[in-house]
Amino acid sequence: MSLPPAYVHERTVLEREIQKNQPVDVLQFCANHFNKRLESQRAEFLLSGANASGSSASTFGGITASGGRASPALVPVESSFPGFNTTGFNSAASPPSNEVGPNDPIIEEEEPDMGQSPTASTFNKYNLGPKEGAASLSEQVARISASPPPPAASSTFASRGRQAQSTLSPPSAPSSAFRSPSPSNDFPSNYNMNRRTSVSAESMVPSSASEDWTPPFTQKTAEQIGRLNAAIADNLLFRNLDEDQTKQVLGALTEKTIRHKDTRVITQGDVGDFFYVVEKGIFDVYVNPAGQMTTGPEGLGRKVTSIGAGGSFGELALMYNAPRAATVMSTSPDSILWSLDRVTFRKILMENTFKKRRMYEAFLETVPLLSGLMSYERSKIADALETRSYPADAVIIQEGDPGDNFYIIETGHAEVKKRSEGPRVLKTYTKGDYFGELALLNDAPRAASVVAKDKVKVATLGKEGFQRLLGPVTEIMRRNDPSQQQQHPPVDGADDTDMGGVGVLSENYSMS
Amino acid sequence: MTSAASSPLPLSGFLPVASTHVLQSQRPQSNKLNPSSIPDSTGAGYSDVPKSAAASPNNTPFQGSGFLSNGGSNQNSNIQSPTPGFFMSNPLVLSPQVSANCSAALRDFHLSDPHSGHNSPAASSDTYFDEDDMEIDMTIEDPFSRNKMNLSPPSHATPTNINEAPQKIKTIVNARNTAETRNACPALHAHQFELLRTLGTGTFARVWLVRPRKEYRTSGAEFYALKVLKKKDVVKLKQVEHVLNERMLLSVSRPQPFIVDLYASWSDRENLYMLLEYSPGGEVFTYLRKMRRFNQIQTQFYIASVTLILEFLHDRGIVYRDLKPENILLDARGHVKLVDFGFAKRIGSQETYTLCGTPEYLSPEVIQSRGHTTAVDWWALGILTYEFLCGFPPFYDNSPFAIYEKIVQGRISFPASLDETTRDFVSRLCEADLSSRLGNLVNGARDVKNHPFFFGIDWKALGEQRMDGPLVPELSFPGDTRYFDEYPQPSPDFEPYKPEAHPQEESFFRDF
């Protein structure tokens, strides 16, 4: 019976070390040697733990099989693998026992992808050996940094006071002569190390106010709209769209009938301009490992999945022009697809965002407190405004609460109420109105409540965010009026003090 | 290739220790980076190193000087005297195994022309360096041959200088150096240059190492990088605007030592040309992939340099939008040169909408088409820092769309080797919330520069390039290309561009 290969390897490594160093105290040398081995293995293990959380469900090659029957092989499972606890490794993790050089304090990443990794099996070895739990992580780290650093990463650190970290950092040169025989151990095997190509959509500028661009529109039934909405709702390209954008995108989807069976809708390797949602029929997806469809009977490649009604594919084409990652073919006559082209999609998003930005900037201009802002500062704020939605009757600001955010109404109506005034509505805010801006100045509690009357969408930014972006508001106000330099806090109008920190509408802003 | 025999790099690993030391004392620039010294990370053959090699602490193989003496006419010697101080000691000390592996690395770095018999760097350098009257044997396909056939000058060029004595390229360049570089330079033509080899390729562009033909040059040591963009592809891929931006921004971004210098630009019937400074160190990408990771010192240096570039560009309202190791070159002293301004744009304080960049480096706001600003460069700086230290970017997957899912989710897992300071730095840059992203806040780039990640950096010294970089290329002559990868020859293109068919684009190209 032969000895385990891992053991043979360890022994070889040790023997080489002994030959090289000719130690006097052999026993001590061996003990030190294995301690170092443990350190590097442990470090490696920790590293692999940090990395292992990365994988998530992914679509392949820009094709989602959301509604279809995705082949299990292609749907990556949320990463978890036996015996590996990403949260608990700090104290309990065991030093792994696979093959890495003995003098090697280098920390190498482990392959995080469980599915295809040739190294996956090595994780089974990460079982806690009874002896190794002893040293705490910090001790391990300390010893790693105390051991001779790899020559390349050496020096220069001492006077920088970062010694401990630096020696742990990736070295510039593999320093050990006894490296693991499999280089794929160290790096994600599924990461393509080649040069990466830049991608770009067509350059686009928002249409000027004079030319009014309207997106293409195809009439659809409410039921169709519902289905389409469900089909795209989870897609990262659609899930952050606002209502207007979603409405226009859904409207722009164009029906496309595929008359015949075995018609290629998209062809792997071709340029992609359209995104498709399946309305009716089933479409088969083929991937040729060559990266493009080839001629011959096997040209389509392997069938990887099928996509049925409600499924979608080709979404990468909505971002930029990239070669199609798969071939998609109809399986029955008279199938129906909805299609959307990139330029239309991007134009819808751009036009809407552009208008919204200008709207925000215009709104901000009307806030007396912020009148001292330069236009680039207003852009900056507009850039950072966060959209929040409230259902009817939701409380946006609660009287008495500490004030943090200021708000601009994008859509809907909100009512101002005060406990002292009973149920009476003191004011109704509508699109373009702002409130809560005094929170930017001071921490005074809100003097009134603002409640959504119907569905309300606001753009909001907190005091912290505002100050991080532009500095203290008081400074900005000081720019405006040098005479106020000593006064703090400045007051920007009787109305505002009356409203007690809620702020007040100064003028109506309406969008064209 | 006949590796070691034709190599100018004696494998010092096999030299007796004593002679290595002698060689070292003759060559004081110990931190010069030899191409062979870039560790080949494939891991093969690292064991069984002769012990004598291991005893040499710094066995940079000597080379270069012998070839320099061949090229006595070389006044622009790139060999710099060592500048101690910036980095307290030599950050790149070679491990013995590495130079033992020299021939393997050389295979990747030597300049080889498959059509000529000259395969070693030495032979190649002889070919087009030392003898001024020696014409390179241009056996590779000359993409300008078509231009030569119809020698009619570009429509906008003044034909007057055709019959005059040839004006030296250097004279033209120098004249423009002090004057306006924003206009097309009618005095320049593609046929005035010898194309020596490809330095890089893009979707519609190819960058060549060129030398002016004999009658147009002042010395044989005059080298440039010539970026040739095919009008046909630029038009087809709708990148006209990006190309114009690139030319414009490169001409307004000078002189910035960290940005590649554009000397002149012109166009002819088929192509657009940009005559650029040649940065002989090659891409940081090449070093990174060879070395797998950079250490803290190297990373700090490159990231600090890029920070200075971003500060410079953003101060001028320019967003770069394609930060990645592939676009960062090193000059002869190991300093950073940013190249490829194809996606750079002057946006001022406005947001912009065209999706462009490189998948792994895209920020969430770009992916989701929310409009983006200079803040995208700071995001990319975080990705770059991570990739430098880890060897791969924080968000990766096989399919671009899966990368985008991860970017939008925004969870970064850090290898255990990254210290808290670095993690904080990366997390603050790769921050989806624009009111929290470092670099985008009230103090702009100053916040980035003040981050403890840059502890120990002398910003002033760095900006003035007082010291050499952490990796200094070993160059034998100004046109040395050993640090550039090989690229396949351009595929013949039989479909000529028809300027008449694109009057609108042509009108833009006129000023190129």
Query: Per residue, what are the HEC states of A229-295?
Result: HHHHCCCCCCCCCCHHHHHHHHHHCEEEEECCCCCEEECCCCECCEEEEEEECCEEEEECCCCCCCC
- Residue closest to B386 by CA, chosen among B413, B421, B359, B426: B426
What is the ipTM for the molecules in this complex?
A: 0.70
Closest chain B residue to A380, measured at CA: B349
B335 touches chain A (CB under 8 A): no
Task: Please write the tens of the pLDDT for every residue from A444-459.
Answer: 899 999 999 999 999 9
Q: What pLDDT does residue A19 have? A: 80
Closest chain A residue to B347, measured at CA: A376
Q: Where are the domains of chain B?
A: 27-109, 129-280+485-509, 285-473
Q: What pLDDT does residue A46 have? A: 59
Task: Spell out the CATH class of B129-280+485-509.
Answer: alpha beta
- B494 contact partners, CB below 8 Å, separation of at least 6: none
Give the pLDDT mean for A322-336.
93
Architecture of the domain whose range is B285-473: Orthogonal Bundle (1.10)
Q: For residues B268 and B116, what is the distance between their CA atoms, to the nearest angstrom?
A: 30
B202: chain A residues, CB-CB within 8 Å: 197-198
Number of Cβ pairs < 8 A linking chain A and chain B: 299
Best to test chain A binding among B296, B455, B472, B485 (most A CBs inside 10 Å): B296
Which carries the bigger pLDDT value, residue A379 or residue B7?
Answer: A379
Q: What pLDDT does residue B159 have? A: 43
B230 φ, ψ to 5°? -80, 120
Q: What pLDDT does residue A192 have? A: 81
Going by pLDDT thresholds of 50, 70 and 90, the confidence category of residue A154 is very low
Q: Which B positions 11-70 lie with beta carbon below 8 A of chain A?
A: 39, 41-44, 46-49, 51, 54, 57
- Residue closest to A372 by CA, chosen among A301, A284, A471, A306: A471
Q: For residues B404 and B366, what is the distance between their CA atoms, to the nearest angstrom?
A: 10
Going by pLDDT thresholds of 50, 70 and 90, the confidence category of residue B177 is low
Percent of all residues in chain B with a pLDDT value above 70, rounded to a whole number: 66
B423 touches chain A (CB under 8 A): no
Query: Contact B95/A174, CB-based, under 8 Å?
Result: yes
Distance (Å) from the alpha carbon of B45 to chain A's nearest alpha carbon: 9
Q: Lowest-pLDDT range, A367-371, A408-412, B357-361, B465-469? A: A367-371
Distance (Å) from the alpha carbon of A71 to chain B's nearest alpha carbon: 17
Query: Contact A346/B355, CB-based, under 8 Å?
Result: yes
Q: What pLDDT does residue B457 have? A: 93
Joined together, the tokens standing for residue A101 give 């050089």
- Cross-chain CB nearest to A198 (options B293, B350, B358): B358
Q: What pLDDT does residue A481 have? A: 57
Listed ranges A459-463, B50-54, B169-173, B361-365; the one with the highest mean pLDDT: B361-365
Joined together, the tokens standing for residue B174 give 């120098």
Give the pLDDT mean for A431-448.
88
A168: chain B residues, CB-CB within 8 Å: 416-417, 419
Checking if the pLDDT of A104 tops 70, the result is no
Query: Contact B371/A193, CB-based, under 8 Å?
Result: no
Task: Please write the tens of the pLDDT for every residue from B67-86.
Answer: 333 333 333 333 333 333 33
Closest chain A residue to B393, measured at CA: A191
- Cross-chain CB nearest to A350 (options B202, B353, B414): B353
Query: Contact B441/A468, CB-based, under 8 Å?
Result: yes
- Cross-chain CB nearest to A188 (options B48, B93, B396): B396
- Residue closest to B200 by CA, chosen among B223, B228, B222, B221: B228
Q: Give the Cβ contact number of residue A476 at 10 Å.
A: 19
Checking if the pLDDT of A406 tops 60, the result is yes
B433 is catalytic: no
Q: What is the mean pLDDT of chain B?
A: 74
Checking if the pLDDT of B123 tops 80, the result is no
A470: chain B residues, CB-CB within 8 Å: 442
Distance (Å) from the alpha carbon of B503 to chain A's nearest alpha carbon: 19
Give the pLDDT mean for B123-138.
41
A177: chain B residues, CB-CB within 8 Å: 46-49, 54, 97
Going by pLDDT thresholds of 50, 70 and 90, the confidence category of residue A141 is very low
- Cross-chain CB nearest to A175 (options B47, B95, B455): B95
Q: For residues A408 and A363, what is the distance between their CA atoms, to the nearest angstrom?
A: 7
Percent of all residues in chain A with a pLDDT value above 90, rounded to a whole number: 32
Q: What pLDDT does residue B389 have? A: 96
Q: What pLDDT does residue B287 have? A: 96
Best to test chain A binding among B295, B299, B384, B396 (most A CBs inside 10 Å): B295
Which carries the bigger pLDDT value, residue B391 or residue A142?
Answer: B391
Joined together, the tokens standing for residue A456 give 């309300």
- Residue closest to B284 by CA, chosen among B247, B221, B329, B244: B329
A99: chain B residues, CB-CB within 8 Å: none
Give the pLDDT mean for A371-398.
90
Distance (Å) from the alpha carbon of B109 to chain A's nearest alpha carbon: 16
Q: Lowest-pLDDT range, A148-162, A273-287, B450-464? A: A148-162
Distance (Å) from the alpha carbon of A426 to chain B's nearest alpha carbon: 33
Task: Please write the tens of the pLDDT for every residue from A111-134.
Answer: 333 333 333 333 333 333 333 333
Checking if the pLDDT of B131 tops 50, the result is no
B294: chain A residues, CB-CB within 8 Å: 170, 172
Checking if the pLDDT of B299 tops 70, the result is yes
- Cross-chain CB nearest to B413 (options A51, A177, A191): A51
Checking if the pLDDT of A2 tops 80, the result is no
Q: Is A17 exposed, middle or buried (0-12, 13-18, 19+ CB in 10 A)?
A: buried
Fold matches, B129-280+485-509 and B285-473: no
Closest chain B residue to A314, measured at CA: B401
Q: What pLDDT does residue A422 have? A: 87
Give the pLDDT mean for B416-437.
95
Distance (Å) from the alpha carbon of A312 to chain B's nearest alpha carbon: 14
Checking if the pLDDT of A59 tops 80, the result is no
Query: Contact B402/A165, CB-based, under 8 Å?
Result: no
B402 touches chain A (CB under 8 A): yes
Closest chain B residue to A201, measured at CA: B355
Checking if the pLDDT of A145 tops 50, the result is no
Listed ranges A208-217, B58-67, B300-309; the one with the highest mean pLDDT: B300-309
B348 touches chain A (CB under 8 A): yes
Q: For residues B294 and B306, what is the distance between their CA atoms, to the nearest angstrom?
A: 15
Q: What is the mean pLDDT of chain A?
A: 71
A289: chain B residues, CB-CB within 8 Å: none
Query: Contact B289/A193, CB-based, under 8 Å?
Result: yes
Is A437 annotated to bind ligand?
yes
Q: What pLDDT does residue B410 have? A: 92
B210 φ, ψ to 5°? -125, 160
Going by pLDDT thresholds of 50, 70 and 90, the confidence category of residue B16 is very low
Joined together, the tokens standing for residue B424 give 């904080």
Task: Please write the tens of the pLDDT for every residue from B316-330.
Answer: 999 999 999 999 999
Task: Please write the tens of the pLDDT for every residue from B242-281.
Answer: 888 888 888 877 778 999 998 889 999 899 999 999 999 9
Catalytic residue among B130, B268, B322, B377: B322
- Cross-chain CB nearest to B93 (options A57, A151, A315): A151
Is A315 annotated to bind ligand?
yes
Which carries the bigger pLDDT value, residue A491 or residue A207?
Answer: A207
Checking if the pLDDT of B2 tops 60, the result is no
A228 φ, ψ to 5°? -60, -40
With tokens 């390349």, the residue in question is A152
Percent of all residues in chain B with a pLDDT value above 90, rounded to a whole number: 46
Domains of chain A, start order: 5-60+76-185 (no CATH), 222-347 (2.60.120.10), 367-498 (2.60.120.10)
- A238 contact partners, CB below 8 Å, separation of at least 6: A232, A246, A249
Give the pLDDT mean for A307-313.
93
A90: chain B residues, CB-CB within 8 Å: none
Query: Contact A325/B295, CB-based, under 8 Å?
Result: no
Closest chain A residue to B99, measured at CA: A173
Q: What pLDDT does residue B437 have? A: 97
Q: For residues B426 and B446, what is the distance between their CA atoms, to the nearest angstrom?
A: 16
B296 touches chain A (CB under 8 A): yes
Task: Please write the tens of the pLDDT for every residue from A16-40.
Answer: 778 877 888 888 888 888 887 777 6
